[in-house]
Structure 1
Amino acid sequence: MIKLRGHHIFCLLGYRGMGYSEEYVANMTEIHTLLREQPDTLIQIIKGPDHLCAKFPDDQPYHCEDKGIFSRDKEIVKRLGLKYSDVLPWREVERRIRVNVEASDIAVVCESCSWRSYGFCEQGVERVIEAQGLLEVEQK
């Protein structure tokens, strides 16, 4: 089971193999690939640092405990009709995205995210809405 915080659900939608460090990218690619290839993989919605935060590099400012990040988590959990401690398959998360999210929500919910300017997350939401799932990311 993969433990995910709210905003990382949206991050996974837009993930394109970029990240904060090689170790972080390797971890995120592994989780992203697992969810893409095995959408029945269970995830647990948690409050606070998750399996992705676990590989955040020590040499960069640790933002995983920032108030703004917790607010973003809470908003995404709410939009998807989830609550902390819920356990569900990734396939169900994608279904909830199709029903409850529009690509334009990224600009509002993730307004202060430094990765938003790439436009990948909006594309990821659109893929899920069109039932195409997560985009394949080449492993390095």
Structure 2
Amino acid sequence: MSDPDTAQLRFRPHHFLCALGYQGKGYSAAFTRNMDRIVQDGLRGEDGDGVEIAVVARTDSVCGPCPHRRGELCESQEKIEGLDTRHAAALNLSAGDRLSWGEAKARIRARVKPGDLGVICQSCQWLEYGMCETALRRLHEATGPSD
């Protein structure tokens, strides 16, 4: 397995679903600009499905400009660890794994059904807005029924 730090993007487990549901909102202007670059310009770009992502167990490419970041941790570290634990289990991810965005979306589709986010995203302040649930439903509808 390759060094996760050499991948173009590094995601902690819960950021896979955050990227799927991202709709141009964030914690600060700098955070939103960074997410726009990662998601809108990268993952949703023409070659987005081929973007390689390394799974990490610490702050990642999304966390860089977050106002809640405290070095390699988050000021809400306990909450974030819970989110990461539930997402890693749901998506069968471990630190050091590498996958393309296309593979990540296929894994999300296969392993996370509409309605599951209430459990795996429990405690996320963005859950109540429904952006991730809408994106998850669209992912399932775009690809048809599960096998």
**1:116 aligns to 2:130 (yes or no):** no
Alignment check: 8 A CA contact 1:5 1:47 kept: yes
2:27 alignment partner in structure 1: 20
TM, length-normalised to structure 1: 0.85
**1:74 aligns to 2:81 (yes or no):** no
Q: Secondary structure at the match of 1:3?
A: strand
Q: Secondary structure at the match of 2:102?
A: helix
Alignment check: 8 A CA contact 1:97 1:129 kept: no
- Letter of the 1:40 partner, please give it: G
1:135 alignment partner in structure 2: none
Alignment check: 8 A CA contact 1:19 1:25 kept: yes
Q: For each residue in 1:42-84, what CA deviation from the matched residue of structure 2 results, as whole angstroms up to 9, or x when unmatched? A: 0001002111111112xx5867251121121121112112211
TM, length-normalised to structure 2: 0.81
1:35 alignment partner in structure 2: 43
List runs of 5+ in structure 1 lacking aligned partners: 133-140
Percent identity among equivalent residues? 36
In the aligned structure 1, how far is the partner of 2:100 from the partner of 2:113? 21
- State which of 92, 97, 102 in structure 1 corresponds to 2:103: 92
2:74 alignment partner in structure 1: 64
Q: Secondary structure at the match of 1:6?
A: coil
Equivalenced residues, count: 130
- Letter of the 2:53 partner, please give it: I
The structure whose RCO (Cα within 8 Å, separation 6+) is larger is: 1
